[in-house]
Structure 1
Amino acid sequence: MDKNMTYEKELSFQADRRRAGVKFINIISDLWYDKSIELVFFRNQLIDRNVSDIINLHEYANAFVGKPISVFDSVEIAAAIASLDLPPSKLDIGKLAYEFHLEHDQYNDAKSFVIAKLKDAKESKEIQPKNVVLYGFGRIGRLLARELMSKTGKGSQLRLRAIVTRDKNDATTLEKRASLLRHDSIHGDFQGSVIADVENNALIINGTTVHIITANAPEDIDYTTYGIEDALIIDNTGAFTDEKALARHLTSKGAHKVLLTAPGKGVPNIVHGVNQNEYNPDTVDIFSAASCTTNAITPVLKAIEDTLGVVKGHLETIHAYTNDQNLTDNMHKKYRRGRAAGLNMVITETGAGSAVAKALPSLAGKLTSNAIRVPVPNGSLVVLTLEVNKQTSVEDINAIMRKYALEGELVEQIKYSVNNELVSSDIIGTSAPSIYDSNATIVSADGKNIVLYIWYDNEYGYSHQVIRLAKYIAKVRRFNYY
């Protein structure tokens, strides 16, 4: 074929594909804002994505599942979903398109396929929106605010109503808080509007009022004066970490439940996807979302424990520096952390090894752990060295992890990477707390010792785990199809 003709055909195909991408984006938006139906693509968010993002996600899917899923397939499935009367839902259109490829000969068309797959949606219980208060407004608090406000939709799930800070909020401070929410050196600009409402001491985020409350102690706050009832208080200050201290939140009028964004003492430590169902939010008032590292390793460890069995192991987390460290050499209560964070690799401790046992009791006493803080502002890596019960291979482990990433209870938690050039900056903005590096796995000659490399965005991925747990506690989890 003439090369010019080939090139023209390629251009035509790309134009068709991008037009389909635009149509896909329109359907995604209509479903979200009109019906509170959220479409994701192998757990990757689709709301507010551009056409190039959509095309790239389909390229990833081709490599991940080994089936050519095109944007045209996604449009067909999305249109079928839009034609149905479904309750508020979260649907993985990548998984649906993949299954349609496998089972298309069993159905007359995409609509009959979708009807069969989503037949249980009608039986889902009606959910009541839950008010949320962020107690603290640091790194995690601001990411939670961004995500909650960008995914408010029709307000049928979590509603951010207030943010509590200990510092006084005058005009200057309020504008500074607004600016920190708008701009982030790591995660980029917030894709929305943030206005400081000085007169009402509030931030107007995407046109919605979020009250800014100044308080030195939880007991000082009456949320009902702001029209807030039965609120879930998400404490991201790090100041209260045990049951007694966290229970102080429950003395505030209008407070209902408490979620700590750090490891907690005397309260359930939850890694969502692994052990949340062991604790009933009807009877438990205070929860902990554990740590970012615990959320990164526990889903992968569960997959290995369930399939190969863990004899013992060690985890070393190569962790981004945090606000706890010093910018330049200075006094610090902990060894080594006083040295300049941006200039040094710093050996320190992590409790993640023992914390895993709170979610997976079968691993109690089997893991040791340590940490190295390194000069990157975000994006971390766990090197997981394990002795396993069953003889295995790299191919076997990859097959296990691919299965867990595609189906089952951990699909939101495990992302399977096929990128042979993956580095820490690539994983920034990944909503899954565990990113399995399939090209880095090592297995010993006898097949009993393995080394796994698990990446994680220690801010963004963890924040999404917090929100998943918040939805469970608030009982606003929609029907989902993963």
Structure 2
Amino acid sequence: MSHKPSFDEEIKSYQAQQNAAVSLIQIVSNLWYNQAVELVFFRNQLIDVKSSSILNLLSESTVLAEKPLNIFEILHAAQALERLPLSPARIDIGKLALQIKKYHVDHAQLVNFIRDELKGINQQQELKPRDVVLYGFGRIGRLLARELINKAGSGQQLRLRAIVTRDANDAKSLLKRATLLKTDSIHGEFEGKVRVDAENQSLIINGITVHLISAKQPEDIDYTAYGIQDALVIDNTGAFRDKQELSRHLLSKGTLQVLLTAPGKGIPNIVYAVNEKDIDLQEQHIFSAASCTTNAISPILAVLENKIGIEKGHIETIHSYTNDQNLVDNMHKKSRRGRAAALNMVITETGAGSAVSKVLPSLAGKLTSNAIRVPVPNGSLAILNLETKSKITVDEINELLRAASFHGELVEQIKFSKDNELVSSDIIGSTAASIVDAPATIVSADGRNVILYVWYDNEYGYSHQVMRLSRHITGVRRYTYY
């Protein structure tokens, strides 16, 4: 008969796990702030995460690996990492710990094993930090500001230098913008410090000065007057959508590249990890990060198109309401969107089906799409109804997507869930672009019709895709180990 631990033994065991998690937090902070090495756990962020949250994250390993990890195995891997000279990198400590466990690496060989596993980490070119300007400070703009500041680290990648608004930035407006950045009804409170510098029309965020610039036209701004050079301007206003309009940003002194956080016309529409390699960074200077829905469905469609082929399909998006809908019934230029957003399900159009063809040309003309806005403020669901070229079973298609979430180029984009109780509020704060709801997968009896349910945080997950694409086009993407 196995020994059942006493209550005191259980308490001591949990205390030991908490202590190990605290030690891990110290290593995570040291590597990030001193060496620009970011540790993640199966793509979950560890910077500024509490010890209890880290222990809860251990359940992620049960989905992706046959043998789950414990906190002590993760800590030992991190301690060995800390002993190595490392260039800026993003390292999945969960994946690394699994490799150590798989090959039964003993303590004496741990450092050498990790050095071999991370070969190439110190061979990358030195990163040249790039300035970033947020043109617009709405929902996506504020999330990007949070992420840019949180990921400032030792300042070797993207540096938020300025925010442009079309309204005046007097003391009252600055305070309101600071409050909106600091507190968010959906994503919670920003952990950092935000202070208003009204005299210099700036926000001081975690000790970093971010200029607030008021301008009616992008070409009127001289960013060099603020010490900003070769900036990436991330336009999240939605006011400019085509190449001609977005080119106006390049007339501003100090601007080198432009990234639109919406579908664009006449410019490359990019879903990071799916088609970013198709762009010529030397010749092109204006890019689109496509839409949140396109970022959610493209990684899944890319896996299926590559592995089994897609004949045709329909995408139905169950999307949270957005700022362009009315809070109460009122006039609206678009059909149905004038009705109260928090009280109605609203059928509306989406260009996601056609937009996918810009990212995956092989699917051109094969997909239709529509959307239903529903009374939740964030968290959306895409239902992919697909006719496949090859026969497949539920288990086979789920395994394809599970494998893609653990190995290959789409591990940051796809998260695989086996949770039978998953609902929309559970996916808020996920950095993944696509969250596969495996228990909901349906395959027809003949194996040719597949229905997949893909969740996505249309704000936070999309913002992380924008960040990934930003690092790519500016050339500051670090070595990654997933």
Normalised-by-shorter TM-score class: over 0.9
Distance 1:18 1:107, change over 3 A: closer
Task: Extract unaligned runs of 5+ from structure 2.
Answer: none
Partner of 2:471: 471
Q: Distance in 1 between matches of 2:345 and 2:174?
A: 36
Partner of 1:231: 231
Partner of 2:139: 139
Distance 1:135 1:5, change over 3 A: closer
Q: Distance in 2 between matches of 1:63 and 1:12?
A: 27
Distance 1:5 1:349, change over 3 A: closer
Shift of 1:106: 9.1
Letter in 2 for 1:323: N
Partner of 1:294: 294
8 Å contact from structure 2 (residues 64, 406) kept in 1: no
- For the residue of structure 1 that corresponds to 2:112, the secondary structure is helix
Letter in 2 for 1:100: I
CA deviations over 1:302-323 (Å, ceiling 9, x no partner): 0111111101100100000000
**1:76-475 correspondence to structure 2 within 5 Å:** 76-104=76-104, 109-475=109-475
- For the residue of structure 1 that corresponds to 2:404, the secondary structure is helix
Deviates more, 1:56-65 or 1:318-327: 56-65
8 Å contact from structure 1 (residues 64, 418) kept in 2: no
Shift of 1:396: 0.3
Normalised to the residue count of structure 1, the TM-score between the two structures is 0.98
8 Å contact from structure 2 (residues 63, 417) kept in 1: no
Q: Distance in 1 between matches of 2:219 and 2:443?
A: 54
Shift of 1:450: 0.6
Corresponding position: 1:10 with 2:10: yes
Distance 1:124 1:2, change over 3 A: closer
Distance 1:106 1:189, change over 3 A: closer
Letter in 2 for 1:303: V
Q: Distance in 2 between matches of 1:211 and 1:278?
A: 34
Shift of 1:63: 3.1
8 Å contact from structure 2 (residues 42, 60) kept in 1: no
Letter in 2 for 1:109: Q
Letter in 2 for 1:431: T
Shift of 1:280: 2.3
Q: Distance in 2 between matches of 1:145 and 1:72?
A: 34
CA deviations over 1:274-313 (Å, ceiling 9, x no partner): 0001112222100000000000000000011111110110
Shift of 1:6: 2.7
Q: Distance in 1 between matches of 2:111 and 2:307?
A: 36
Q: Distance in 2 between matches of 1:392 and 1:234?
A: 41
Q: Distance in 2 between matches of 1:364 and 1:161?
A: 39
Distance 1:354 1:97, change over 3 A: same
8 Å contact from structure 2 (residues 105, 113) kept in 1: no
Distance 1:11 1:250, change over 3 A: same
Letter in 2 for 1:194: V
Partner of 2:28: 28
8 Å contact from structure 1 (residues 107, 113) kept in 2: no
Q: Distance in 2 between matches of 1:413 and 1:164?
A: 29
Q: Distance in 1 between matches of 2:180 and 2:253?
A: 29
- For the residue of structure 2 that corresponds to 1:85, the secondary structure is coil
Q: Distance in 2 between matches of 1:397 and 1:6?
A: 43
- For the residue of structure 2 that corresponds to 1:32, the secondary structure is helix
CA deviations over 1:206-255 (Å, ceiling 9, x no partner): 11100000000011100010010110000000000000000000000001
Q: Distance in 1 between matches of 2:469 and 2:311?
A: 30
Letter in 2 for 1:164: V
Q: Distance in 2 between matches of 1:4 and 1:391?
A: 48
Q: Distance in 2 between matches of 1:325 and 1:380?
A: 16
- For the residue of structure 1 that corresponds to 2:295, the secondary structure is helix
Deviates more, 1:376-385 or 1:272-281: 272-281
Distance 1:468 1:4, change over 3 A: closer
Q: Distance in 2 between matches of 1:422 and 1:332?
A: 34
Shift of 1:452: 0.3
Q: Distance in 1 between matches of 2:105 and 2:273?
A: 33
CA deviations over 1:86-126 (Å, ceiling 9, x no partner): 10000011111112222225995321220110111121111
CA deviations over 1:359-392 (Å, ceiling 9, x no partner): 1011001100000000000000001000111111
> What number of residue pairs does the alignment pair up?
482
Q: Distance in 2 between matches of 1:3 and 1:167?
A: 68
Percent sequence identity is 60
Q: Distance in 2 between matches of 1:388 and 1:321?
A: 32
Q: Any runs of at least 4 consecutive aligned residues in structure 1 with deviations exceeding 3 A, and if so which?
A: 1-5, 105-108
Q: Distance in 2 between matches of 1:105 and 1:3?
A: 29
Task: Extract unaligned runs of 5+ from structure 1.
Answer: none
Q: Distance in 1 between matches of 2:16 and 2:224?
A: 53
